[in-house]
Amino acid sequence: MTRILIVDDELQILELLDLSMTQYGFAVTTANSGPEAVQLLRSGRFDVVILDVLMSPWDGFETARHMRSLPGCPPIIFLSGVSGLAEQQRGLSLGAAFLSKPFRPSRLSEIIWQVLDEKTAL
């Protein structure tokens, strides 16, 4: 089963993503901050990280930098309510996929499979 780590500081978003991605057959673990997510990544194995951009105390980009310093960091998909080109380019420069809110859960599922296919192709 594909294991995903979802990181968002808004509890309602975490619950919604957990429910919807579980219905798509993913094994979901959630974290409500960057530091918590990095700790989970250190202690567990995940296939994909879904990471909100606007969080505190670390934003998604800072969290991704911390994650990328760990061995075996999985692919990252950024979620953001800010759909500006600069945000997307910043996410892409970190080697991550980018999805703007609002989005359909089916679209997120498609992107998860795309990044997993890309990882396998490498």
pTM: 0.90
Residue-level pLDDT at 96: 76
pLDDT, tens digit (0-9, with 9 covering 90-100), for 29-43: 999 999 999 999 999
Domain that holds residue 29: 3-121
Q: Which contiguous run of DSSP H or E holds residue 15? A: helix 11-23
Indicate which CATH number applies to the domain containing 9: 3.40.50.2300
Provide the number of structural domains found in the chain. Answer: 1
Longest dimension (CA), the chain: 35
- Closest by CA to 47, choosing from 117, 121, 100, 110, is 117
122 pLDDT more than 70: no
pLDDT, tens digit (0-9, with 9 covering 90-100), for 83-101: 666 666 666 666 678 888 8
The residue assigned the tokens 């968002």 is: 8
